[in-house]
Amino acid sequence: MPWLEIHINTNREDAPLIEDQLMEVGALSVTLQDNADQPIFEPALGETPLWSETRVTGLFEAEVDTSTIDSQLQLPTKANFKWHIVEDKDWEREWMQHYNPIQCGDNFWICPSWIAPPNPEAVNLLLDPGLAFGTGTHPTTFLCLQWLATQALTDKDIIDYGCGSGILGIGAILLGAKQVLGVDIDPQALLATQDNAQRNAIAAERFPVVFPDKCSNSPVDVMVANILAGPLVELAPTLTPLVKPGGKLCLSGILATQAEAVQAAYAPFFDFDPVAKKEEWVRLTATKHA
């Protein structure tokens, strides 16, 4: 069954009002999008920023009377709109068609679980991310995987803080780590991590997953945390004691402009390597003082 969408071009001030009107006239969902290529990477705590030019999209059933909707909406003078037919698709399969294997090291690949690995002899991480963050396509995840592929992880204990899909922890185990503890605030992430670990034939006891309040206090050899700059700064007092003296720290989810602030939060206890950058994102790695 097809659907109908109304696209309304407006500004940040009027977007919330238009959103409310669309819900009142029966929209099944409302989406706010950037309409002028103006990225917002990380809002400040408690903020919900919008773009100076915002597109508000309302989704309706195909049988809706568009002329009635038009008459009910009281749009600002500068707002303009247009109706579109949306083809009904299997959106999960549509997304799957565009997710291909990713090489993160000389002998290390991330492979969608529904595609045969390009190199069966390599270390192949089979992934179905589900609703959790972490496919390897985002620069922050790729930078962490690339770093893990260069480390001596054999028999190491690791914490994957903010584990998402479990991609970093699973990669570490496949590269030789003894055990990884996955930590996340999102129940969906913990489920996705467990599913992906099982898909890669990793026993549950090698990759247990917990909420932050259940995280072990025992220091580990390697800490990886691919979150965002703000939470990483706030978590510095929590993460620092969880790394053994001489242990490794890998932080990502950080914009290049935020690198100094994150480094400053950990610098009293860690010696940092040169910053690794991909597009506008960076990865910070460091060794804890002995």
Residue 35 known to bind ligand: no
Residue 162 known to bind ligand: yes
Sheet strand arrangement including 3-11: 29-34, 53-61, 3-11, 80-86
Name the residue among 289, 288, 279, 285 with its Cα closest to residue 139.
Answer: 279
Bridge pairing between strands 243-255 and 276-278: unpaired
Q: Is 217 strand, coil or helix?
A: coil
Task: Describe the crossing of helices 167-174 and 139-148 by its angle, rounded to 10 degrees.
Answer: 20
Give the tokens for residue 185.
């605030």
| 239 vs 24: CA distance, rounded Å | 46
Contact 198, 113 (CB under 8 A): no
Specify the residue for token string 């690995």: 117
| 127 vs 113: CA distance, rounded Å | 5
Residue 226 known to bind ligand: yes
| 34 vs 44: CA distance, rounded Å | 18
Residue set of the binding site for S-adenosyl-L-methionine: 141, 162, 184, 226
Residue set of the binding site: 141, 162, 184, 226
